Structure 1
Amino acid sequence: MHTPTTTGRRAPLAIALFVALLAPGLAFAQSAKEQELEARIAQLEAQVQALIGAQQQQQATIVDTRAQLDQVKVAQAAPADGKPHIQSTPILSAGNPDGRFSYGGFIKVDAMVTGTNAGEIADGSAGRMFYLPSAIPVGGADESHVDTDTHAQFSRFWFAADGDMQGHKTRAYLEFDLFGGGSNQLGNEAATNTHALTLRQAYVTWDKWLAGQTWSNFQDVAALPDAVDFVGPTEGTTFVRQAQLRYTSGPFSVALENPQTVLTGYRSTTRINSDDGGMPDITARWTQKGDWGHVSIAGLARQLRHDTAATSASGSGFGVSVSGKYNIGTHDDIRYMLTGGQGIGRYVGFALGADGALDATGADIDGTGVLAGFVAWRHVFDPKLRGNLMVSRAQFDNDTDWTGFGVTESAQSIHANLIYSPFPKLDIGAELIWGNREVESGADGDLRRLHTSVKYSF
Structure 2
Amino acid sequence: MNTQIAQLTRKTFMIKPLILACVVLAPVWTHAAVSEAEVEQLREEVKNLKAMMQQYVEQQNHVSNQLVEIKQTTLKPVQQAAAIQTITQTSSQGLKTKSGAEFSLYGNVRADASYQAEGGSLSRLYNQINSVPLQGNAESSDRLKATLAATRLGLDFKTPTQMGDVGGKLEVDFLGVNDGLRIRHAYLTYGDWLVGQTWSNFAVPDYMPETIDALGYVGGAVKRTPQLRYTHNLSTETNVVLAAEDSKDDSSNMRLPALTARLNHKFNDTLSFSARAMGAEKKTDADTETAWGVGLGAKLNLTDKTVLKTDYYHVKGDSSFVSWTNQGFVTNADKDIIATNEFDSITIGLTQQLSAQWRGTLGYGYMKADNNADYINALADKTKANKNLWQAWANVFYSPVKPISIGLEYVYGEREAFGAAPNGSTKGEDNRVNAVMMYNF
Please give the range of the TM-score, normalised by the shorter of the 2 chains.
Answer: 0.7 to 0.9
Superposition deviation, residue 174 in structure 1: 0.4
Q: Distance in 1 between matches of 2:171 and 2:271?
A: 27
CA contact (8 A) 2:219 2:366 kept: yes
Counterpart of 2:278 in structure 1 is: 300
Deviation track 1:18-47 (CA, whole Å, cap 9, x = no partner) reads: xxxxxxxxxxxxxxxxxxxxxxxxxxxxxx
Q: Distance in 1 between matches of 2:190 and 2:387?
A: 43
Q: Which amino acid aligns with 2:263?
A: W
Superposition deviation, residue 260 in structure 1: 3.7
Counterpart of 2:121 in structure 1 is: 122
Superposition deviation, residue 444 in structure 1: 1.2
1:49-448 pair list within 5 angstroms: 71=83, 91-95=96-100, 99-116=101-118, 121-125=120-124, 129-141=125-137, 145-182=141-178, 195-233=179-217, 235-250=218-233, 251-261=239-249, 273-289=250-266, 290-307=268-285, 312-349=286-323, 351-397=324-370, 398=372, 399-403=375-379, 405-406=382-383, 407-441=385-419, 443-448=426-431
Q: Secondary structure at the match of 1:326?
A: strand
Closer/same/farther in 2, CA of residues 213 and 151 from structure 1, 3 Å limit: same
Q: Distance in 2 between matches of 1:205 and 1:254?
A: 14
Superposition deviation, residue 401 in structure 1: 2.0
Give unmatched runs, 5+ long, in structure 2.
1-74, 234-238, 421-425
Superposition deviation, residue 440 in structure 1: 0.3
Closer/same/farther in 2, CA of residues 302 and 71 from structure 1, 3 Å limit: same
Relative to the length of structure 1, the TM-score reads 0.71
Deviation track 1:258-312 (CA, whole Å, cap 9, x = no partner) reads: 1543xxxxxxxxxxx24522111000000012301311000001111122xxxx1
Relative to the length of structure 2, the TM-score reads 0.73
- % identity of equivalent residues: 23
Counterpart of 1:8 in structure 2 is: none
Q: Distance in 1 between matches of 2:271 and 2:215?
A: 21
Q: Distance in 1 between matches of 2:202 and 2:81?
A: 51
Q: Which amino acid aligns with 1:280?
A: P
Give unmatched runs, 5+ long, in structure 1.
1-62, 77-84, 183-194, 262-272
Q: Secondary structure at the match of 2:209?
A: coil
Q: Which amino acid aligns with 2:97?
A: L
CA contact (8 A) 1:259 1:281 kept: yes
User: Is 2:432 the partner of 1:449?
Assistant: yes
CA contact (8 A) 1:162 1:170 kept: yes
**Aligned-residue CA RMSD (Å):** 2.8
Superposition deviation, residue 73 in structure 1: 12
Q: Which amino acid aligns with 1:101?
A: F
Aligned residues: 348
Q: Structure 1 residue runs of 4+, over 6 Å off?
A: 67-70, 72-76
Superposition deviation, residue 68 in structure 1: 8.8
CA contact (8 A) 1:161 1:173 kept: yes
Closer/same/farther in 2, CA of residues 448 and 402 from structure 1, 3 Å limit: same
Between stretches 213-222 and 200-209, larger displacement belongs to 213-222
Closer/same/farther in 2, CA of residues 71 and 144 from structure 1, 3 Å limit: closer
Q: Distance in 2 between matches of 1:104 and 1:89?
A: 13
